[in-house]
Amino acid sequence: MGKAIAFMIFVWMIVSIAGGVAEGSVTTSTTALTADISDVAVIIPVVSTENFPDTGFVTILDENIGYASKTATTFQGNLAQPLIRGAQDTEAIAHVEDELVRSPESSMLNQSIGYKLAVLSDSSGMLAFVTIPFAFLSLLATFLILPLSFLGTDLQILTYIWGALSIAIIVAIGIALAGGRRMS
């Protein structure tokens, strides 16, 4: 059983990385704001832009920001293409100094590993034991959907095969935990 779970995690990671390669970036970089910014700021000052692509998107909390150029310590637009606040159907909001600025891949990993658990348990206080199982199920659901959009619609069947394999692994784990046949 352990080998099957390790295999599923390995495949998920490889496909996620392959998707980043196909889209042109595989960075999982994180930096922090060095000053407060308003919801209409045209320059995003950060500690460092090292390991971020020359152009692309960054995520601050729930806002995606498109940038056309960068310096060593800022993300910004240029004459042809300004900074795009609230990109990809997100809302442009003000941010404060020291908030984390992440690459899209770093943001995705942060959201799928631990962050959901931390937010739910922090907001619940003493009742965290009630919300943690739901947060764990939400985390588990992120692994049931394989990010294969970069392959196009012709290979959509692979997403369904992945989902079926994931459900089979979860059922096998449930049977093993319930005292059914031991798998080795």
Tell me: the pLDDT tens digits for 121-137? 444 455 555 666 666 66
Q: If you average pLDDT over residues 105-127, what whole number do you get?
A: 55
Q: What percent of the chain is modeled with pLDDT above 90?
A: 22
Pull the structure tokens for residue 35. Answer: 């000053």
Q: Is 57 exposed, middle or buried (0-12, 13-18, 19+ CB in 10 A)?
A: buried
What is the C-alpha to C-alpha distance for residues 116 and 54, in angstroms, rounded to an integer?
Answer: 30
* Least confident interval from 103-112, 116-125, 161-170: 116-125
Query: Domain residue spans in the chain?
Result: 2-23+106-177, 30-102
Instruction: Look over the chain and give the mean of its residue pLDDT values, rounded to a whole number.
Output: 75
Residue 90 has pLDDT above 70, yes or no: yes
Model confidence, pTM: 0.51
